[in-house]
Structure 1
């Protein structure tokens, strides 16, 4: 039971990077970006392929981040320069990334069995794999939150947040909102790709179809975090997203433990997100009575 709890906590922390990426586009930029369903497996594909070729696991994660950032920048360019709606731009990039991911891996699945990963260092220190997952996840989540809190406190970060809140006002201040949108999508998909790389190394494989439903997982983590832990400030937003990812993983672990068929998880997640999104409305109606 302890191993299950630690493994669930570790998975929640690793998936929190995906949730943070979705938070940047969904809450900060107010854009529904489906690129994540392609950039997540892209990060996994790049990392796994490089590791098989003998590249250091940490370097492979950095390469995955760059790949994800390029994917996000492409979506931003399609949206801002070609004036294609953000949702459609993300779908176009997501579809294109499916073929690119196959090109990167050369096949549909790449195994990392008996390969050194970022978790190997901790395992050599006599840590179990589940503990290694949790330690790496905690370290990455803390560093990510600290860096983002600093970044969004800078002038560029403030402009990025203002672009999502009131683009007309920030344009009147002389800020190029197109550049801010591209920057936000770039950052978002960079974090998503890193999450994909970490998950692939933790699971021991990368698969071209592992990105299916990731946008729903990210939204579930964001919404659950906001509902349960609140959004009093930007730092509380970041913490809520991470905690929401952990809670989501705990819920999934519990329902699987109780016997829910794995094939029903996507349906369960969709219903869970719908309920979480409707809670403010239901609460307001209840209070009005």
Structure 2
């Protein structure tokens, strides 16, 4: 069982046939509660994997033993009070109930429920979004399960989410049905991408080669040294590969210039370089950046050096 997915948009759809919601920076989860389980939900990821153990605080339905199947996003708040996928990463792959309970105390999660596909044994997937939404709002969810607001003005919501540092918006046709395991043009997502400058401190070759640059390891200068922020491969095409190779290969050194530890999956096969070259990167991550999300290389900054960051 996999959720319905949105298509990537280039602009906010307008008109009375659309409704708009905040795009949450969290973990997509389907919650399935079957009568006779004492309200215990089975939680499934977007890939269909059972994640019930990882989220004990949302594992029990606030509707008790009532039969229900809902779709939503599990979110956690960072130090700035904003939903942040990064704070949940430690919790996503937990396989120990004891560890899950401890992490739930330290990083509590909330389930933002935005769709209702089954209620009291009735399949609602063939109903328009407006009818499913009305029934969802009528459930009175509160506490660890919440129903986020929907808005008529998509342009306003886009601007507001950008100003507030949220991830973006999702626009939904009011007439849309719910189709499992499908990417539908009836749901359109627009994520806010942010651009930052980072210092290159390593490069990795293309798989099957030893000398063709395919990705960069980048970091941020701090008072504690150069801190690792992630690996960037998207956006590095033929011309960029040649330019970057000319810039970084003469700077190779024997050891990592990063002050913190680089994850083994990124460090393996990396050529370390002196941190002199600055590049611009687009990412879904917001400032302050702890780890890049879906980063894309945008170009070399020849006008500034590491000391300017």
TM-score norm. by structure 1 comes to 0.26
Q: More relative contact order in 1 or in 2 (CA 8 Å, sep 6+)?
A: 1
Between structures 1 and 2, the one with greater helix share: 1
Structure (1 or 2) with the larger CA radius of gyration: 2
Between structures 1 and 2, the one with greater strand share: 2
TM-score norm. by structure 2 comes to 0.25
